[in-house]
Amino acid sequence: MAQAARERSESIRPTVDDVDFKALYRKTIYEVRTADHWSLVITRYRPVPQPFPQPILDEPILLVHGFSQNRHTWTSGEFVKNLLFFGADVHILELRGHGKSSIALQHERHEQGERLPENLDYRWDIDDYFLYDLPAAVDGVRRVTRRPKIFYCGHSMGGMLGYGYAGIHHDLEGLVTIGSPSDIGRGFLLMKLVSFLAPIVYGVDGTLAALNLLRAASWSGSRLAGRALAGVGARGFASRVSPSPERPRRLRFRYVPMDDLLRLTERLLSGRGYRRYEEMSRFVTLLANPERVTAADIRWLLREGGEREPRAVILEFARWIRNGELVCYRTGYDFKRNFPKITIPVAIIFGDLDRLASVDSTRGIYRGARSEYLLWRPVKGNSHLELTMGHDIRQICYDIKNLIQFAVEHRGVRPSLPRRE
């Protein structure tokens, strides 16, 4: 009887396409405060129990976006919907300066009495994400869900940060990375070569300093000339020569305007431009394979999902690539050296067309981690961006569901046999 009832239940179980997205969740937004005084925003999609089975109901998972991205990494497609279909309690972090965790928000909180961060003006780096943002976010999710441990899923840079975090903290129950290399640049000669151009940035500083000096001298000279002409009665000439009352603002290279670059790319991909991109992708795949994602989704992500990234973040990435490192330079903590300390269930997912996260560049974490549940899998036909928004996210979310389900079933019990998939 029980078997028959179970089979009947499975036969009427809907697919994720049959369910209205808004019926799956209650959405809330909350903030966490970092130790260095940033207010970060987390968007929560709390699952609503459904009449069909939800194998990971109320299991909290923190989603962390990658370089120059925001929450739309996860919301531009149906990634969140697929996780909610299984019952996951989804929490989306936006790192400092990204999305709702904006610089403007810090000023708003300052007006309410909070202390302003010292590195507010695009002076943070990857170490700040690792040392401050992740601990605050994980603690925040644990607090609102009242769970001692949570699951973590990171895309690209978000997953790389997860490698480091899982090796030193003990409040994660499972780790999923999507398109996240552990040896960034390995097997990708062009990226390696570009990383050696990063020191040119310091030359830009010298150029800007010279320009600032010339602009200041020109402003002061024009001001003196105007005063001299006014003193001899040539007020008409004086008004033409005199500069504006305010000194010229100093030119500074604080960030790379990835938001503007991605919006420009989105405009170039309109209409005929996207068809040309599809034709080119038959020979060379760049960040996204148009066969595995819709034009509307990729253009929406480019338009809404880009953020400015500080120069220090760029320089730290370049240093990682040049030296073959994955290190928090502020503390000397070496992510790779601590891979063997990762024993929680891990899933390493990447596209087989992705040059950033490939078999070569993810092999290190697969070999280094000591997890008894360890999935290392390419997604056929995928590059980098569509892994969280394309046609194959259902398959990826099944992998996440399986990892969480395994961890829940073995909570507090060490599996008798290693499971490496």
- 1-22: pLDDT as tens digits: 455 555 555 557 899 999 999 9
pLDDT of residue 222: 60
Phi (first) and psi of residue 152, to 5 degrees? -130, 135
Helix axes 295-304, 258-268, angle to 10 degrees: 150
Residue 190: pLDDT band with limits 50, 70, 90? confident
Counting residues of the chain whose pLDDT is more than 70, the rounded percentage is 81
pTM: 0.86
Residue 218: pLDDT band with limits 50, 70, 90? low
Residue 418: pLDDT band with limits 50, 70, 90? very low
pLDDT of residue 192: 84
pLDDT of residue 221: 59
pLDDT tens-digit profile of 315-336?
Answer: 999 999 999 999 999 999 999 9
pLDDT of 109 over the 80 cut: yes
Give all domains of the chain, ordered by start, each with its CATH number.
Answer: 2-186+303-307+324-420 (3.40.50.1820), 200-241 (no CATH)
Average pLDDT over residues 353-379: 96
pLDDT of residue 241: 52
Which of the two residues, 29 and 274, has the higher pLDDT score? Answer: 29
Amino acid at 99: G
pLDDT tens-digit profile of 154-185?
Answer: 999 999 999 999 999 999 999 999 999 999 99
pLDDT tens-digit profile of 243-268?
Answer: 566 675 654 668 889 999 999 999 98
pLDDT of 415 over the 60 cut: no
pLDDT of 347 over the 70 cut: yes
Counting residues of the chain whose pLDDT is more than 90, the rounded percentage is 69
pLDDT tens-digit profile of 66-104?
Answer: 999 999 999 999 999 999 999 999 999 999 999 999 999
pLDDT of 208 over the 50 cut: no
